[in-house]
Amino acid sequence: MKKTALLAGATGLVGQALLPLLLASERYAKVIVVGRRAVAVQHPKLTQVVTELGQLDAERLRLVADDVYCCLGTTRRQAGSKEAFFEVDFSHVVKLAALTAANFATQFLVVSALGADTESRFYYSQVKGKMEAAVRQTPFRAIHIFRPSLLLGTRAAPRLGERIGGWLLALARPLLRGRWQKYRPVAATAVAQAMLRAAEDDGGGIKVHELGGE
């Protein structure tokens, strides 16, 4: 029997790449997109739930799916404060996991970041690590955590830090081999493809995927 996918963060870099894959996949009869803004896509499989992410509880009955893809994420600069960043990258992600697990979803696939660590000196990495730790406690049959290196792709709102980092890593690319290859910039499309492949495996347990460019 075909399944239902739920995607949060469809307007972000990875989410934009993932949505057409989900809609084209024979695995899914229905794709639910939840977010603050509607996506400019029309498709017979697509259902949109437009809501503030802080109000997910009110939409709980519309968030019933088998596979949940969470591509939520921002930066402290974009969010405007540490508190706003924490709300998006931790609170909304963990709330989505809790609600969909209570709705008997079987798989949760979430985009984190390379270097995620609850003890990190860097606030961004520390929050990502705390998010991962909280998501690991939710009762899904399978949890897939994706830790991409610097993401490549065209954002609606370019991030200067990512552009500078991309230039620097491009210069260092010949040196990033072996165990250092995971630090190579990776295309958002490659991350999206990896997420769908992981869901299609229909495995169990908690898996961490560190993704760098080829």
Q: What is the pLDDT of residue 165?
A: 44
164 pLDDT higher than 50:
no
Q: Name the CATH superfamily, with its identifier, for domain 3-211.
A: NAD(P)-binding Rossmann-like Domain (3.40.50.720)
CA-CA distance, 120 to 149, in Å (whole number)?
Answer: 16
13 pLDDT higher than 60:
yes
Other C-beta atoms within 10 Å of 35: how many?
A: 21
What percentage of the chain exceeds 70 in pLDDT? Answer: 84
Query: Could you tell me the pTM of the whole model?
Result: 0.87
49 pLDDT higher than 60:
yes
Segment among 24-33, 73-82, 189-198 with least mean pLDDT: 73-82
CA-CA distance, 5 to 150, in Å (whole number)?
Answer: 26
CA-CA distance, 19 to 38, in Å (whole number)?
Answer: 13
Write down the residue that tokens 């065209």 correspond to.
Answer: 154
What are the structural domain ranges in the chain?
3-211
